[in-house]
Structure 1
Amino acid sequence: MAESRAAAAAPRRRTPSPEEYIAMQESGQFADLRRTFRGFTFPVFIAALVWYFVYMVSAIYFPEVMGRPFLGMNVGIWFGLAQFVTTFAITWIYVVYANKNFEPRQAAIRAEMEG
């Protein structure tokens, strides 16, 4: 019952035509959003990939270093835990950046397309 009232109270969105989607895709507004997205995600992705490969190459070619004790565990375990910390940090940074830089642009595009 509450769901039907909420659905009835929600504004109706129009469905844009295929031509409108194509026009938006070719617009400067969409190009700016895409440029902002790529400008953040590509460098972060490359950095994370390099960090992962450093970890893997170290584990494969330098097992004696990875096996050294350090603060109660070996270096390899600390490196592995750092991978998790890095993943969560990247996710948090992405969410903060996206909320600040992507969401306003996406909302403007959505509002223009769906009216």
Structure 2
Amino acid sequence: MTGTDLTKPPRTPSEEDFAAVQASPQFQELRNRLRRFVFPMTALFLTWYLSYVLLGAYAHDFMATEVVGNVNVGLLLGLGQFLSTFVITACYVRFANKELDPRAAAIRNYLEGERA
């Protein structure tokens, strides 16, 4: 590779290129991997959040149960909501770095690269 190759702008894909890539098995695999992570994780988090809200609305005695000093179950479950958000984010970042980003980069390189 020469010095001029590094300054050359990437090829601009056409609408036909995007349509072809969208129909490709590589893109379908990328989309399927994303969905297999996002949908179950979303369902799990929404179930966890809805459970917390319902417990807060209907299980006052349970949520008011003191665990240590003035710290009760409701407070711990509320803090658990924040913790679970950070855990899910960390899991997604790890998943994306390992599974999604390499595939997306390959597709982008194909679209922006020189093709005959």
TM-score above 0.5, yes or no: yes
Q: The residue matched to 1:70 in structure 2 has which SS?
A: strand
Query: Gaps (5+ residues) in structure 2?
Result: 1-5
1:1-115 maps to which residues of 2 (within 5 A)? 10-72=7-69, 73-115=71-113
CA distance in 2, matches of 1:38, 1:83: 23
CA distance in 1, matches of 2:8, 2:36: 34
Q: The residue matched to 1:102 in structure 2 has which SS?
A: helix
Q: Give the drift of 1:10.
A: 4.4
Q: Give the drift of 1:74.
A: 1.1
CA distance in 1, matches of 2:90, 2:8: 32
C-alpha distance after superposition, 1:22-70 (max 9, x if no partner): 1100111100000000001100010000000110010001011101111
Point out 4+ residue stretches in structure 1 off by more than 3 angstroms.
none
Aligned length: 107
Task: State the TM-score, normalizing by the size of structure 1.
Answer: 0.89
Percentage of identical aligned residues: 44
